[in-house]
Structure 1
Amino acid sequence: MKQRERMLAGLPYKGSLDGLREERMETKLKIYDYNLLRPNETEKMDELIRDILGKTDEKITVKQPFHCDYGKNIQVGNNFFANYNCTILDTGRVIIGENVKVAPNVSIYTAGHPIHPLSRNSGYEYGIEVIIGDNVWLGGSVVINPGVKIGNNVVIGSGSVVTKDIPDNVIAAGNPCKVIREITEEDRKYYYKDKEFDVQDY
């Protein structure tokens, strides 16, 4: 089994073998070009980010700067929005649903290293996939650790470190991130805390 196959299977692998280092360098060069595009070069941005990522839908926005390892292991659904300085370490697959909003400085990590120092120093590492459902909002500076699954219609509060799965239809926050409460129909009339919408088309 090649190291890339081991990596995507969630098995220990060495990132310096079987062309993985060259794959990462190819992606780094594309990301370098992407991050240096002028703000009005929107067509070039759209074309290049779709070349970097593995699977995209009709409408996606990824603000510069953006960083990832391979790119091709990232799948995003329609109406995906990532704000400034999003980092995705995609040694494992990252599968993101529709209508997902990612605030600035969010980091999604599938990559990790063994706990024991001798094992860690052997050069073996791992990638465990991360799955994010539909209609999710990740607040500023959220960190998602390897192996996490976030359900549909979830809000993750700013600064949270998500180490365990989060179920559907909840607000979760903290370090480590925990469910605070369910999202209910009552929440629909508010746009921020106790401030109610003054328009009818929301």
Structure 2
Amino acid sequence: MDQRTQKERMLAGELYVADCPELAADNRRISEWMARYNAALAVPPDERHAMLVEAFGAVGAGVNIRPPFFCDYGYNISIGAGSFMNFNCVVLDVVKVTIGEKTQIGSAVQILTADHPRDPALRAQLLEFGRPVTIGSNVWIGSGAIILPGVTIGDHAVIGAGSVVTRDVPPGAIAVGNPARLKD
């Protein structure tokens, strides 16, 4: 019998139950952090940076995330130096979300790792899983874009505003639309 905790299963990208006591405690912790962070809009960026370091797995120098900002746990987020996220972004980080250096992310972008089984019997058991998202360096993601679970976006790529990215985007490519398609 598998003796791993639900959190260990979640972090491995396997089926898990999200409302177990350990994950509920992690979510309470980040909820309290988000309340403080989202009230810190008028706080200088260097002070907000210190708050990001407190919550995230890794934060490079000069990272600026404008509140409000929302995430599931925080500890699965790594963001490279000089990156920027505008107002109202959501990162569902049940597994790793990696963002490279000098990446610019517009307002209301959603980066989603959380996924659910296609089998209704498994969903009825409240099981879910995650697939990591990787965003390269010097990427520009336009406002309102949605990055779905398991997607990798290569360095120097551009994602158009409002695009829904369902597949990997190669380095240097431009992807737009719903679903996002590569532009020639």
TM-score by length of 1: 0.86
Kindly tell me: are residues 177 and 53 of structure 1, through their superposed partners in 2, closer, same or farther at Cα, counting changes over 3 Å? Answer: same
**Structure-1 residue corresponding to 2:24:** 21
Q: Distance in 2 between matches of 1:43 and 1:104?
A: 20
2:153 maps to which of 137, 150, 153: 150
Instruction: Please report how far the alpha carbon of residue 4 of structure 1 lies from its aligned counterpart in structure 2 after TM superposition.
Output: 1.4
Alignment-derived partner of residue 10 in structure 2: 7
Mapping of residues 31-180 of structure 1, within 5 Å: 31-180=34-183
- What residue identity is the alignment partner of 2:125? S
CA contact (8 A) 1:81 1:102 kept: yes
Deviation at 1:41, TM superposition (A): 4.3
Amino acid at match of 2:143: G
Give distance in 2, aligned partners of 1:24 and 1:154.
32
Asked if the contact 2:157/2:174 (under 8 Å) is kept, the reply is: yes
What is the identity, as a one-letter code, of the residue corresponding to 1:146?
P
Shift of 1:118: 2.1
**What is the Cα deviation at residue 117 of structure 1?**
2.2
SS at match of 1:131: strand
Alignment length, in residue pairs? 181
Gaps of 5+ in 1: 182-202
In structure 1, distance between residues paired with 2:44 and 2:84: 17
Q: Distance in 2 between matches of 1:37 and 1:158?
A: 26
8 Å contact kept, 2:151–2:165: yes
The percentage of aligned residue pairs carrying the same residue is 38
Pick the structure with greater CA Rg: 1
* CA RMSD after TM alignment: 1.2
So what's the TM-score if we normalise by structure 2? 0.94
Q: Distance in 2 between matches of 1:78 and 1:167?
A: 21
